[in-house]
């Protein structure tokens, strides 16, 4: 198993308008992000001195804020610049950026209107979610007993700090000896994984669950739609069950940190011939080429 993040001793953090040393980056114990998970986040990747799909990520961050009535004192352009400044301060050309916005300091009650202003911090570091051999050989997955929350309680399009549901599903995966797992919605249909979107390939056609089935409309998910179009591969949004994955010819996951990674087994059933498939490999190659050739300069 592999999930690593490395920081240096002189790591710099952007916190509420200032770039400071990691040791000085602190938030109050009365911050509602800590007390109640009242906040939002985004994870973004950088390649070859460029931040990949930065504008789309920040736009989604602001959409999450609007959905939970979190009024931000920064413009989208100011957050974009703060992100680039944080990367530059850490002298990074490759890696991962995490932006977190909390409701801010307030009382011990739930009332968010007693929090006078939100707080934001930005972390830029190196990350490796899966080992290199996992991209070559494919992951093994399980189906998690923990279900995705119903959209009636919180839209899956809000990247909120309420991630305990995903954490509990991740614990199931680790206890089963795997790194990822399929999460179903209330109706028993496939939604997504604990941190990634799900794709299968059947008879040359790529399928992924519609966001209405409980998945995040991921940025990398959107990239796959673009790449399928440019590569001449048919792609469809399809409600699916575990059975659809069992009988697929190939399968893969997408996510900002994960990028594009094949999986070759679910609940002890081999997918296809048990090795990463042709279309999965084609899309992995196309994604890496795209990610390393475009983006917002950060050096």
Known catalytic residues are: 159
Do residues 142 and 181 touch, judged by C-beta distance below 8 A? yes
Strand 235-237 vs strand 205-208: parallel, antiparallel, or unpaired? parallel
CA–CA separation, 118 vs 74, rounded Å? 10
Dist CA 255 CA 216 (whole Å): 10
- Cβ–Cβ < 8 Å for 99, 122: yes
Closest listed residue to residue 299, CA positions, set 103, 150, 93, 160: 93
How far apart CA 104 and CA 96 sit, in angstroms, is 24
Q: Which of 86, 117, 85 is nearest to 102 (CA)?
A: 117
Distance, CA of 118 to CA of 138 (rounded, Å): 41
Say how far apart CA 97 and CA 157 lie, in whole Å.
19
Which of 285, 254, 132 is CA-nearest to residue 192? 254
Going by C-beta distance under 8 Å and a sequence separation of 6 or more, which residues neighbour residue 94?
46, 47, 48, 126
């Amino acid at each position: 198993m592999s999930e690593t993040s490395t920081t240096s001793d002189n790591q710099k953090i952007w916190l509420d308008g200032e770039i400071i040393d990691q040791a000085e980056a602190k938030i109050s114990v009365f911050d509602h992000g800590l007390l109640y998970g009242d906040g939002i986040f985004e994870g973004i990747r950088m390649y070859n001195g460029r931040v990949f799909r930065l504008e789309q990520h920040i736009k989604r961050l602001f959409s999450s804020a609007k959905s939970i009535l979190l009024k931000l004192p920064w413009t989208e352009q100011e957050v974009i610049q703060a992100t680039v400044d944080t990367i530059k301060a850490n002298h990074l050309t490759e890696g991962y950026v995490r932006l977190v916005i909390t409701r801010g300091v307030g009382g011990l009650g739930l009332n968010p209107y007693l929090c006078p202003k939100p707080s934001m911090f930005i972390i830029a570091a190196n990350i490796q979610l899966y080992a290199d051999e996992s991209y070559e050989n494919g992951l093994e997955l399980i189906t998690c007993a923990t279900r995705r929350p119903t959209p009636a309680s919180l839209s899956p399009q809000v990247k909120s700090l309420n991630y305990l549901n995903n954490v509990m599903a991740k614990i199931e995966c680790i206890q089963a000896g795997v790194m990822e797992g399929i999460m179903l919605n209330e109706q028993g249909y496939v939604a997504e994984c604990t941190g990634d979107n799900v794709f299968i390939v059947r008879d040359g056609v790529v399928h992924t669950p519609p966001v209405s089935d409980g998945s995040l409309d991921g940025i990398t998910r959107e990239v796959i739609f673009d790449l399928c179009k440019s590569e001449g591969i048919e792609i469809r949004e399809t409600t699916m069950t575990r059975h659809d994955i069992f009988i697929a010819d190939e399968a893969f996951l997408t996510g900002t940190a994960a990028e594009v990674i094949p999986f070759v087994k679910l609940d002890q059933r081999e997918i296809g011939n048990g090795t990463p498939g042709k279309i999965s490999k084609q899309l992995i190659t196309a994604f890496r080429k795209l990610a390393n050739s475009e983006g917002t300069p950060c050096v």
